[in-house]
Amino acid sequence: MRTIVIGSRKSQLALVQTYWVQAELQKLHPDRTFSIETMTTQGDNILDVALAKIGDKGLFTKELESAMLAGTTDLAVHSLKDLPTKLPDGLVLAAITERENPADALVVNAKHQDKQLETLPEGSVVGTSSLRRLAQLRHHFPHLTFKDVRGNLNTRLRKLDDGEYDALILAVAGLQRLNMGDRIQQIIPPEISLHAVGQGALGIECRSDDQEVIDLLSGLIHYPTQQRCLAERAFLRELEGGCQVPIGVSSQINQTSLTLAGLVATLDGTTLIKDQLTGDINQPEAIGRELANKLKQQGAQAILDQITQQFRSA
């Protein structure tokens, strides 16, 4: 039997996630061999420019996808929030794994150990590379100063500990996967910051005509997470949003129903358009599309058009 080659980015978090997938696949298929091929993506190489200014069409996925299409690798493990909602021809999202906590977290410099977002002193420098986080936090905490921060998790934390920032906003899931949960000062509630589409889940991509690999991956699918993330991704796809647009979501499942909350914000955080929709758990993409159109009718389309124009003229 052929060896199945898994593609991964080289960052510590990416490798932790990929090793986990490799181990789970080995448990499910002990007679098979799964190897790992690492590579660097454009998003890993460009660290001195804000993500929104680079554009987000496959920043962290293009090289992994090219390797699959060339037959060098057979599947790729992604943080699902990094995977564009429109995949290249010939590739498919074959599995979405059980989600970690999708919320955002506040991590602080030691001098603010007794603080939370609400109590950080005026002018405190908060680092984030996400326009989604930035817009929502600017809306709720206009007295704070926000500054872009790039690099892997360890690099960002070092900048925080060295005093370049008073606090950082990071994903709870990434910190937990790297056994850094003790750095979490505050889990930010959805009332303050809706999370990114797919945040906390892993997405496993492979060639759409490789039924053997699709079958091997089927055991990793976590149905509740899959349905929630499909609704979130459909919402984002309908809005045609990405790193350049402040779009947030939250989703919940209650027996046979799925509730999706969504948000579109202006870059300065002065306007937040937010709503939610509940529907059949078996129709997640319909829920996502309908909620996106609901927000467009409430003014989200004008915000999206304005932001697109701003980036085109920048």
Mean pLDDT for the chain overall: 92
Residue 51: pLDDT over 60? no
Domains of the chain (ranges, CATH numbers): 1-97+201-221 (3.40.190.10), 104-187 (3.40.190.10), 223-314 (3.30.160.40)
Q: What is the DSSP string of 235-288?
A: HHHHHT-STTS-EEEEEEEETTEEEEEEEEE-TTSS-EEEEEEEEETT-HHHHH
pLDDT, one tens digit per residue, over 95-132 is: 999 999 999 999 999 999 999 999 999 999 999 989 99
In this predicted structure, the answer to whether residue 136 has a pLDDT above a threshold of 80 is yes
Residue 82 catalytic?
yes
Q: How far apart are the first and last CA of the chain?
A: 52
Higher pLDDT: 3 or 51? It is 3
Q: Which of 31, 48, 56, 82 is catalytic?
A: 82
**What is the largest distance, in Å, between two alpha-carbon atoms of the chain?**
62
| Tally of CB atoms within 10 A around 282 | 9
Q: Are 46 and 102 in contact (CB under 8 A)?
A: no
Residue-level pLDDT at 24: 98
Among 176, 220, 209, 198, smallest CA distance to 16 is for: 176
Distance from C-alpha of 291 to C-alpha of 88, rounded to nearest angstrom: 25
Stated pTM of the model: 0.91
pLDDT at res. 44: 54
Count of Cβ atoms closer than 10 Å to residue 150 Cβ = 16
Taking the C-alpha atoms of residue 279 and residue 144, their distance in angstroms, rounded to an integer, is 38
Residue 302 backbone dihedrals phi, psi, to 5 degrees: -65, -40
How confident is the model over 81-105, as a mean pLDDT?
A: 96
Would you say the C-alpha torsion 204, 86, 303, 131 has a positive or negative sign? positive
Mean pLDDT of 87-99: 97
Structure tokens at 94: 């074959």
Residue 172: Cβ-neighbour burial (10 angstroms; 0-12, 13-18, 19+): buried
d(CA 224, CA 168): 30
Flag whether pLDDT at 237 surpasses 90: yes
pLDDT of residue 230: 98
**How much is the pLDDT for 78?**
94
The C-alpha atoms of residue 166 and residue 108 are separated, in whole angstroms, by 6
* Sheet with 91-96: strands ordered across: 34-39, 4-9, 75-79, 202-207, 91-96
Residue 242: the pLDDT is 59
- Considering only residues 172 and 52, tell me which one the structure prediction assigns the higher pLDDT: 172
pLDDT digit string, tens, across residues 172-217: 999 999 999 999 999 999 999 999 999 999 999 999 999 999 999 9
Query: H or E segment at 91?
Result: strand 91-96
Conformational region of residue 39, where left means phi above 0, alpha means psi within -120 to 50, and beta covers everything else: beta
Check: CB of residue 67 under 8 Å from CB of residue 40.
no
Measure the CA–CA gap between 308 and 312, rounded to whole angstroms. Answer: 6
For residue 126 the two structure tokens come to 């908060």
pLDDT of residue 56: 57
Give the Å distances, CA to CA, from 44 to 28, 127, 213.
31, 18, 27
Q: Note the pLDDT tens digit of each residue in 238-290.
A: 998 655 689 999 999 999 999 999 999 999 999 999 999 999 999 999 999 99
pLDDT of 47 over the 80 cut: no
- Residues 8-46 have pLDDT tens digits of 999 899 999 999 999 999 999 999 999 999 997 655 545
Q: What is the rounded distance in angstroms from the CA atom of residue 54 to the CA atom of residue 233?
A: 21
Give 55's pLDDT tier (boundaries 50, 70, 90): low
Which residue's entry shows tokens 């939610």?
Answer: 276
Predicted confidence band of residue 152 (pLDDT cuts 50, 70, 90):
confident
